[in-house]
Amino acid sequence: MAKGIYVVKATPDLVAVHKPAGVPFHSMGHQQGLLAAIRANPAFLLDSFAPAAQQQQQQQQQQQLDEQQRLFAVHRLDTGTSGLVCFATSAHVAGLVAKAFRERRVAKYYVALSARKPARKQGSVTGDMTRGHSSSWKLLRSSSDPAVTRFQSYSLAAVQPGLRLYVLKPETGRTHQLRVAMKSLGAGILGDPLYGAAAAAAEQQRMYLHAAALRVQLPDGSWFQAVDRPPLADGLFGHAAVQELCGRLLPDALEQDLGPWFEEHPLLVSRTTAMGTPAGAATLEGTSYQSSSSSSSSSSSSSS
């Protein structure tokens, strides 16, 4: 079992797991992937990466997994991205939740770090995506079937000059969508070896992109909501100022909050409306940012 995997939340229908950066979703060569690790041992042991305050709660949640013979994937993350990955406890629920992801009936929030000043501090990145060189992707000026990413950024200059934290809300789920969107803003994700300078990325402990929160309506009408802030033992994500900001933006109480999330930020807001396009998903006039030229970008059916 790869170090750092732990249960964030478990219900009879869905299990949210923390995937560490560097762990692939599918096994690669001799490296066991997240899916294989969990299927081989659903009641995996907690480790030191799990916050101490959550140990008892996670132990109770893990007991629900003991009876599970198999978990079914409903979405995935890139190898370099950490954070929430959801698994269904039956093929039936997996199909329904995967459909909700495809139909944009899931609100997802990521946090990212960049050391470069963006073209704008908040807004939307909209454009079609196409394959670029090697395994990269590009953002185009056309919008026939566009990828859409909402974002809000916050200064972390006290941590490092020019450093900013971004809250990203993908409305679509294209391959490497968030990494391409950040590059198009001129603020590539810190540590991204594909869309940033390889030499600069090699100096970083990891790529600083983390799936931090999501909410999805289950077949019985209830809501599955999970919050997973970046772990303390995770490079710059573990800096006190970064942790404090993430704690304010994504408090533990959010997991139980059925009201609007990020209500003070129209671009990021999501509401527990009836099954259908989440509130706040419509284009907001005057906030879109479209690439003025094709910009490199990256691979998987995930937005990370």
Residues 85 and 230: their CA atoms lie apart, in Å, by: 14
**Can you tell me the distance from the alpha carbon of 36 to that of 93, in angstroms, rounded to the nearest whole number?**
20
Write b or e for each residue in 115-150: b if 16 or more Cβ atoms lie within 10 A of its Cβ, otherwise e: bbebeeebbbbbbbbeebeeebbbbbeeeeebbbbb
Active-site annotation holds for 78: yes
87 neighbors 38 (Cβ within 8 angstroms): yes
Q: Which residue, 30, 86, 120, 115, is CA-closest to 218? A: 86
String of DSSP letters for 137-183: EEE-S--SS-EEEEEEEEE-TTTSTT-EEEEEEESS--TTHHHHHHH
Contact 90, 72 (CB under 8 A): yes
Do strands 122-127 and 288-289 pair parallel, antiparallel, or not at all (unpaired)? parallel
Count other Cβ atoms within 10 Å, centred on residue 214: 23
Q: Which of 78, 128, 192, 228 is catalytic?
A: 78
DSSP code string of 55-115: HHHHHHHHHTTTT-S--EE-----TT-EEEEEEESSHHHHHHHHHHHHTT-EEEEEEEEES
Helix (H) or strand (E) holding 240: helix 240-249
Contact 18, 83 (CB under 8 A): yes
DSSP state of 242: H
Cα→Cα distances 79→119, 253, 295, Å: 27, 29, 22
Residues marked active site are found at 78
